[in-house]
A and B are shown apart, each in its own frame.
Chain A
Amino acid sequence: MSISNSTELICFLVLAFVVILGSLGVVLLGNIVYSAFLLGGVFMAVAGLYLLLNASFVAAAQVLVYVGAVNVLILFAIMLVNKREDLKPIPGLQLRRFLSAGICLGLLVLMFRVVLITPWSLPGPAAIGEGATVRIGEHLFTDYLLPFELASVLLLMAMIGAIVLARRDIQTVDVGTGNEVNQSLIEKAGTPLLVDKTTT
């Protein structure tokens, strides 16, 4: 085994260890701030895995999008909602945890089995390395042109929707009749599904 191979193996093992331990921490830790920071670590380690696969562009995109945007957004959301509220204990939580752990382990075993009995065509395609950015650009403007353009519509629509849901100015008058309105369903609830906190 040459030095480069063994370095690659060691890097892979360290990164894989970080990913597995970090994601277990994200799921299992009780404090959501720890989870959020660990999630950032997991994203960074995944970017490291991409680098190992010689996909530097994808690694950079991963860091920019997931660590730089998604994770920071999650942290902002947590910091903005700094309201400590004691939730009602869920009945049978322990049993539920065991059940979901059992299902997840079953899935894991199934995946392992399938991965082991599948005849993989190895080695896979050789990595292009630095040429990858050019290749991705060409794909985006030829055979992936339609999803690329559609993604812009998706983002536009998501932005408009977020603004509509978040903005404060409320319409108070029905344009057609001049009656008062309150932006709720026309069908009045027989029994409320959620307890309305504004009235109690």
Chain B
Amino acid sequence: MKHRYSHKSLSNDALTMPEMGAILLSTQFMAAPDELLSLSINAGAVAPEGCVLLAMLGTLIVDLAGEKAASRWAPPICYAGLGAALLLLAIQWDTPLEPSFLGAFLADKLAIAFRAVVALSTLLSLLISWRYAEQSGSPVGEYAAILLAATLGGMLLCGSTDLVSVFVSLETLSVASYLLSGYMKRDSRSSEAALKYLLVGSAAAAVFLYGASLLYGISSSTNLQEIGIALLNSPTPLAALALVFVLATVAFKIAAVPFHQWTPDVYEGSPTPVVAFLSVGSKAAGFALALRLLVGCFGAFDEQWKLLFTVLAVLSMSLGNVVALAQSSMKRMLAYSSIGQAGFVMIGLVCGTEEGFASMVVYMAAYLFMNLGAFACIILFSIRTGSDQISDYAGLYQKDPLITLGLSLCLLSLGGIPPMIGFFGKIYLFFAGWADQQYLLVIVGLVTSVISIYYYISVIKMMVVKEPQEASEVVKTYPPIQWKTIGLPPLRVALISCVLITAIGGVLSNPLFQWANNAVAGTPLLQEAIELTTQRALV
């Protein structure tokens, strides 16, 4: 019987899991049932996701006892689940690498780093969302459960090494995001956001499926590593078409121009804590997917996808930062700014060097804290005043120094002003780009950074420079500051910790850099790509 793995020797001692599984399956008539059962699936690799799943089920169960019980018990259950997941990820860091689920999942250091970013972004988004959810009257228990399901999808997406698991986890993340963006069902803006996101997202998913089916047709395997080998051996024109389809989906997920049209409307219409998650967690998962698919699978089309990504990065940086100048709504401005920020991260992806990948990880981690810090501030402002117009922030420093200070620091960091964490992340990205001779990208990045500093600083100017009599109506009737209401203490914790890390994390960022370098050094996938790049450079 001629099966698809016939080119591999059976006597090879170093058989990896997918090969063993395939051999067992192809010789199924000989294999005794107990032999199938004795296969090691190494399910311990997804233990962190298991914690998130347990937390999700726990929240659903306490939600049965009514809204009061849910708002009392859902937060601690979520904290426990996500905290345990982060702890297990930390333990997983030093365990030897072994593919799990017969090649469907790989918990390499890259996956662990991105899963930690996703889990941490959910934890922080949940901390800042309780008050918002209750004040808007949406059921808290289901909200937390859906957000945890999105996290589950995002975390599995970071480590998936099989087209089928990539697609199912991508859909889990996406469907949960559609639901969350339409969660304020009485608000037409929220419904519009959900509908737009659903339609564009489904189209993107269909395009991905088409590309994936082409890849399966070329290589007759769904395993990314085997597809990569098949593409390397025979790079057909069909594979280039599949590359375009897959790349469109990745670009949709990270909201790169010109696949960004959904972003401003969805960000404006969704509940603000959901926007916080979408702009960090969902984007981090998207970048992990980009690394897995493009670096791991399309190594044979290295030059093509790097060229395409250069174009996407230049467009994202320039359009995102220029259009953000003209926005009057804070959420919309942050939406365009997040498009620009994704453009910066793409510089690291295009480099394909050790520094490039490490700078991506560093910048994603830095972006997590500074962006969520900024969102914590604007959520607190809208909880107290019910507005997200930039002009309503005028003269805020006299009424609420904490929001003013926190938002100023986070926006300065997003702009890349020196002592903050964002500056170090950005300088590392530009350094990696310059070392790899990506002069165009670095120059565009520098110019658009300057533009971004302008619109970030104009918000700060609005808050700080205005005289008391120039303050907006909203600020003049600002409510007295109190932290007693349910849900406000967690928001304060998230706000202060994000702002602290943003402010002093930059100076003490050495562990972060080491962590990112370790993550890249401990990932075989990235090491192979780096070797390939250096070999090309020598030739």
Interface pick from A28-36, A79-87, A152-160: A152-160
Partner of B136, one of A146, A184, A194: A184
Minimum CB–CB distance from A111 to chain B (whole Å) comes to 8
Complex Cα–Cα for A163 and B106 (A) = 34
Complex Cα–Cα for A103 and B287 (A) = 29
Check A146–B156 contact: CB distance below 8 A: yes
Q: Of B137, B182, B189, B329, which is in contact with the most chain A CB atoms at under 10 Å from its CB?
A: B137
Partner of B168, one of A143, A147, A190: A147
Complex Cα–Cα for A192 and B134 (A) = 23
Complex Cα–Cα for A170 and B136 (A) = 11
Minimum CB–CB distance from A194 to chain B (whole Å) comes to 4
Check B485–A187 contact: CB distance below 8 A: no
Q: Is B8 an interface residue (CB 8 A)?
A: no
Complex Cα–Cα for A134 and B26 (A) = 12
Check A114–B241 contact: CB distance below 8 A: yes
Q: Is B272 an interface residue (CB 8 A)?
A: yes
Q: Is A117 an interface residue (CB 8 A)?
A: yes
Q: A138-B25, A143-B162, A187-B331 are in contact. Are A175 and B67 (CB under 8 A)?
A: yes
Q: Is B282 an interface residue (CB 8 A)?
A: no
Check A146–B165 contact: CB distance below 8 A: yes
Kindly list chain B residues whose C-beta atoms are within 8 Å of the C-beta of A4: none
Q: Is B61 an interface residue (CB 8 A)?
A: no
Interface string of B133-148 (1 = CB under 8 A from A): 0111111101001100
Check B184–A187 contact: CB distance below 8 A: no
Closest to B270 in A: A185
Interface of A is mostly: loop
Q: A153-B53, A164-B139, A183-B186 are in contact. Are A142 and B102 (CB under 8 A)?
A: yes
Q: A143-B102, A193-B192 are in contact. Are A185 and B25 (CB under 8 A)?
A: no
Kindly list chain A residues whose C-beta atoms are within 8 Å of the C-beta of B518: none
Interface string of B170-201 (1 = CB under 8 A from A): 01100110010011111111111000000000
Q: How large is the interface on B (under 10, 10 to 19, 20 to 34, 35 or more residues)?
A: 35 or more
Kindly list chain B residues whose C-beta atoms are within 8 Å of the C-beta of A189: 189
Check A186–B237 contact: CB distance below 8 A: no
Partner of A161, one of B25, B179, B186, B268: B179
Complex Cα–Cα for A125 and B3 (A) = 8
Partner of A181, one of B137, B188, B190, B387: B137
Partner of A175, one of B18, B68, B105: B68
Complex Cα–Cα for A192 and B165 (A) = 40
Q: A147-B165, A154-B172, A161-B175 are in contact. Are A193 and B136 (CB under 8 A)?
A: no
CB under 8 Å from chain A, chain B span 226-273: 234, 236-238, 241, 265, 268-269, 271-272
Interface string of A166-200 (1 = CB under 8 A from B): 00001111111101011111111110111010000
Check B179–A176 contact: CB distance below 8 A: no
Check B36–A142 contact: CB distance below 8 A: yes
Q: Is B60 an interface residue (CB 8 A)?
A: yes
Q: Is A1 an interface residue (CB 8 A)?
A: no
Closest to A124 in B: B220
Check B190–A184 contact: CB distance below 8 A: yes
Partner of A125, one of B4, B185, B234: B4
Q: Is B364 an interface residue (CB 8 A)?
A: no
Kindly list chain A residues whose C-beta atoms are within 8 Å of the C-beta of B387: 187-188
Complex Cα–Cα for A173 and B328 (A) = 31
Which residues of chain B have a CB within 8 Å of any CB of chain A? Answer: 4, 18, 21-22, 24-25, 28, 36, 39, 41, 46, 53, 56, 60, 67-68, 71, 100-105, 131-132, 134-140, 142, 145-146, 149, 152-153, 156, 160, 162, 164-165, 167-169, 171-172, 175-176, 179, 182-192, 220, 234, 236-238, 241, 265, 268-269, 271-272, 328-329, 331, 382-383, 386-389, 485-487
23 A-B pairs with CB atoms under 8 Å apart are A118-B237, A134-B28, A138-B28, A142-B21, A143-B21, A143-B25, A150-B165, A151-B168, A154-B171, A156-B149, A157-B145, A158-B175, A160-B60, A165-B185, A172-B137, A176-B135, A181-B137, A182-B186, A183-B137, A183-B138, A185-B187, A190-B329, A192-B189
The 3 closest A-B pairs by CB, nearest first: A181-B137, A184-B187, A161-B179
Which residues of chain A have a CB within 8 Å of any CB of chain B? Answer: 110-111, 114-115, 117-119, 124-125, 134-135, 138-139, 142-147, 150-151, 153-154, 156-158, 160-161, 164-165, 170-177, 179, 181-190, 192-194, 196
Known: A144-B104, A174-B135, A174-B137. 17 other contacts (CB 8 A): A115-B238, A125-B4, A134-B28, A138-B25, A138-B36, A142-B21, A146-B46, A150-B168, A153-B56, A153-B172, A157-B149, A161-B179, A164-B185, A183-B185, A185-B187, A186-B382, A194-B189
